[in-house]
Amino acid sequence: MDISSDLSIGISLWSFIPPIILLVVAMSVCMGVYVVLFKKVLPRKIYNFFLGPVAIIGFYIWAVPMETGFYEFFRAIL
């Protein structure tokens, strides 16, 4: 049993933590803006219908910078 190889795998996974935190933040901001702008304006059924697409928009807002190099930035820092 080689403990040093297990430690190196665990350390390499630290570069995934900041992008995942940014995913949660991006989706939360998108949902927060949607709630603030449309909670009182839209009827309940339409409001609930668009919750999913707004979450997907938050995912795309996160995914585009990750594709353009933010992931490499986090790997370089950690």
Q: Domain of 71?
A: 3-77
Q: Between residues 73 and 54, which one has the greater pLDDT?
A: 54
Give the model's pLDDT for residue 63: 81
Weakest-pLDDT range from 1-10, 13-22, 52-61? 1-10
Give the chain as a 3 state SS string.
CCHHHHHHHHHHHHHHHHHHHHHHHHHHHHHHHHHHHHCCCCCHHHHHHCHHHHHHHHHHHHHHHHHHHHHHHHHHHC
Domain count, the chain: 1
pLDDT, tens digit, 9 for 90 and up, residues 19-62: 888 889 999 999 999 999 999 999 999 999 999 999 999 888 88
- What pTM did the predictor assign? 0.69
- Kindly indicate the confidence band of residue 5, based on its pLDDT and cuts at 50, 70 and 90: low
Q: Between residues 21 and 65, which one has the greater pLDDT?
A: 21
